[in-house]
Chain A
Amino acid sequence: NAGVTQTPKFRVLKTGQSMTLLCAQDMNHEYMYWYRQDPGMGLRLIHYSVGEGTTAKGEVPDGYNVSRLKKQNFLLGLESAAPSQTSVYFCASSKPGQGLYEQYFGPGTRLTVT
């Protein structure tokens, strides 16, 4: 099993450009999450999904959109990138339905917006 994978690993955008980050998991997990990590601030939840076709806002959702069209994939979109969105983005998944509450993380995507 590959676990949780993220594409791309690195990206540089100019202000105003758009992009989509892809998260994929092969563990048949119901729940998926997108976090951002900034220096000294720990991880903050952007959006999450408790199942295919559902999404919900987290702590810092502004400027981001998400979609969960397939159970194994969770997409994070930036419609008009801003320098404040420079960060490391992590995807995670979990399977609470079977008592497996631990969140498993992908390797991260480092995004720089100039």
Chain B
Amino acid sequence: GIQVEQSPPDLILQEGANSTLRCNFSDSVNNLQWFHQNPWGQLINLFYIPSGTKQNGRLSATTVATERYSLLYISSSQTTDSGVYFCAVGPDHEKLTFGTGTRLTIIP
């Protein structure tokens, strides 16, 4: 099956800093999604982005499908951005394989 690697595994930043999270995958995909799991365990969908670039407020994501990676950018970090960020990919729209996540901690 598809392998998904996320880096870095842990990231600690001061409030206001910018960050870049990376997702590498081992095979071509038609489905790529980014999720945020907050400290209470709730999973929120951030982006559906199998290719190209999208922006939503302080968050943006870019997927370069031909090179098999995706990047999630967080600008002007806030403490509410803390949590675990997951990348998930799939060859179709039926199934997703999740990475092990990047744990982001924002310090006030």
Contact = CB atoms under 8 A, between A and B. Distances in A.
Contacts, number: 51
Contacts of A35: 98
Given A45-B96, A59-B1, A90-B43, 20 more contacts: A31-B94, A41-B100, A42-B86, A42-B99, A43-B88, A44-B98, A45-B95, A48-B94, A48-B95, A50-B94, A58-B95, A59-B97, A88-B41, A92-B43, A96-B94, A103-B45, A105-B35, A107-B41, A107-B42, A108-B42
| Among B42, B43, B44, B99: residue with most chain A CB under 10 A | B43
5 contacts: A35-B98, A92-B43, A103-B45, A103-B88, A103-B96
Contacts of B95: 45, 48, 58
Given A94-B93, A96-B93, A102 B99 contact: no
Which A-B residue pairs are the 10 nearest by beta carbons? A105-B43, A42-B98, A96-B93, A43-B98, A102-B45, A42-B100, A102-B48, A101-B48, A101-B93, A108-B41
